[in-house]
Amino acid sequence: MAQATIYDIRNRLFDHIQRLSFTYHDTAETGQLISRTTSDIEALNSFLGVGLLNIVVNSTIVTGILAVCITTNWKLAGAALSCIPIIALAVIR
């Protein structure tokens, strides 16, 4: 799925660049355009290939751990989970 998506994005981007005016291509730095295009598509490829899978796997693990904690001792799990908003605020700032 990721490879097909990246292939489609590359083709759309190539078509878009081809349709730009000659004035744009005269003023734009070709090396920078190619570098940005390659870099952005490669970052997207990394996210779709590995990052998305990591999000799904980690979410499943966290859900399982929470279920085990709550079924084992719901009071202790509640106390531990009450710290999460405070930690989240500290991380955001």
Tens digits of per-residue pLDDT, 37-60? 999 999 988 888 888 889 999 999
Element (H, E) at 28: none
The amino acid at residue 45 is: N
Q: The dihedral of CA 22, 26, 30, 34: what is its sign?
A: negative
Instruction: Give whole-number Cα distances, 30 to 19, 26, 39, 41, in Å.
Output: 15, 9, 14, 17
> What's the whole-model pTM score?
0.57
Structure tokens given for 20: 């730009």
Nearest to 9 by CA among 32, 33, 38: 38
Tens digits of per-residue pLDDT, 21-32? 988 888 888 888
